[in-house]
Amino acid sequence: MLIERYTPEDVFARVPELAEQTDPVLRRLDGLREDDPLFQHVKGDLGRRYPHTLDHGRPSTPVEVILRLLVIQHLYTWSMGETVRRVADSLVLRWFCRVYFRRVPHATTLERWAALIQPQTLVQLNDRVVVLAQQAKLTQGRKLRFDGTVVQTRIHHPTDSSLLTAGVRVLSRALRRAKPLVGERLAGVRAAFRTRLRTMRQGLQTLHRLARRTGEEVAEARTTIYKKLIDTAEQTVAQAERVGQALHEAGDAAGHAGQQLGEQIARFVPLAKRVIHQARRRVLEKQPVPSAEKVVSLFEPHTQIIPRHKGGADVEFGRTIVVDEGEGGLVTRYHGLGPGESEHDELPLALAHHQDLFGRPPTLVAGDRGTPSPPNERIAREAGVRHLVIPRAGTPTPAHRQREKDPCWRRRYRWRAGIEGRISSLRRTYGLAECPYHGDAGLCRWVGWGILGSNLAQIGRRVAI
């Protein structure tokens, strides 16, 4: 039968049916993202972009669209650019992100908005997701297991010579940019804006050539080159301090660019001084420097040196993240360890957070070897934990050896091994192996989004079954 045209219909009215066929996980997550507390947490952060973001200016990208775009990005582990392209090309993703037929925001716009979301907001978002999963009876909070993993920062392998060169390179760039702003103020100062980067690069290349040779003469030559590198770095730091003072005295005359250069110099000069100090101690004075005092990156100064104690690399450069997981494959808590903190102190924090989240203590708590201690066992007992399944480090007593051979104890401890698979999934699928974001807050933000994406994927799959 010949027909003239199809019956008109609303395009987006039937998209949920299409989403059910193409990706059931998105269909199930759509209702979860309507939760108002989640929305308000994110809106509070985005509203701090400018003083009058909430009530002045032209309409921005809606908060709902930003939140859903970021969820899509980390759910499928896409880049910002790929997320924008895929959402623009997909009717289902346009419906899920509430973009409809409007223009999808540019990737750089999305990056600026995403940088405003605070790490604590992502912690609250994850807590809210776990509560919603409990209401959907996907988890009951009866079990808890925890372990740690290292999220590495994206830095080059640190050496004293490369750190010295990086400090000179950054400060020399700031000196060149400051010359048009305060050149007249420092006209009588000799070599105020001199760039010493070529000297540093020549020394660095010589060290690389000497690294292939051995002997006392080579060691003396290496020490001589390091003395020259340290002296050159000190001269550059002195120049930067002088220029920074001139920018401060210029004030408004230097403009916004002068203010930014002054802040940059004030940020990198103390780090460069620490690098010079540790290079002098390690190379010239032959003194060991504690790992907690070392600078391994000028651009990611929060990076810690973490011994691996496993196969592969001897150390890793990043931050240790402790992950708590309940039944159902949901990560209920994550915490980045600061300097001096240890996984052994995480049990009380994990129990307190679990109590606040579920309103009751877990029946079973399982952890890695080395976590148990008399204070931890007492805290778990007082909290109401019936089964604390954590093997003893070192040589166990006959009583502990007998308990660890018990079939019930071993069955409960086998459940602990599941968190190794969860951590592996977070590292391989959700990007926790390495953090591309900058700064300590950026690392916590990256970890939070990865764990949130993992939890949402688990909820979507289980509800879609």
For 290, phi then psi, to 5°, come to -55, 145
pLDDT digits (tens, 9 = 90+) for 159-200: 999 999 999 999 999 999 999 988 888 887 778 888 999 999
- Lowest mean pLDDT of 293-297, 392-396, 443-447, name the range: 392-396
Q: What is the pLDDT of residue 463?
A: 74
What mean pLDDT comes out for the span 409-415?
88
Cα separation, 99 vs 113, in Å, equals: 16
Closest by Cα among 248, 203, 207 to 229:
203
pLDDT digits (tens, 9 = 90+) for 66-75: 989 999 999 8
Cα separation, 449 vs 125, in Å, equals: 10
Closest by Cα among 305, 357, 302 to 326:
357
For residue 432, what pLDDT band results from cuts at 50, 70 and 90? very high
Two structure tokens written together for 255:
């403009």
Which helix (H) or strand (E) is 64 found in, with range?
helix 63-75
Q: What is the pLDDT of residue 312?
A: 63
- Other beta carbons within 10 angstroms of residue 409's beta carbon come to 15
- Lowest mean pLDDT of 59-63, 121-125, 316-320, name the range: 59-63
For residue 441, what pLDDT band results from cuts at 50, 70 and 90? very high
Q: What is the pLDDT of residue 97?
A: 87
Closest by Cα among 407, 347, 410 to 145:
347
Residue 420 has pLDDT above 80, yes or no: yes
Distance of CA 276 to the CA centre of its chain: 28
What mean pLDDT comes out for the span 413-428?
92
CB 328 within 8 A of CB 138: yes
Task: Give Cα separations from 107 to 48, 63, 104, 446 (angstroms).
Answer: 20, 15, 9, 17
Average pLDDT, the chain: 87
The contacts of residue 217 (CB under 8 Å, 6+ apart) are: none
Residue 26 has pLDDT above 80, yes or no: no
Closest by Cα among 453, 433, 455, 432 to 326:
455
b/e map of 141-160 (b: 16 or more CB within 10 Å)? Answer: bebbbbbbbbbbbeeeebeb
Q: What is the pLDDT of residue 319?
A: 93
- pTM as predicted: 0.88
DSSP strand pairing (387-389 vs 364-366): parallel
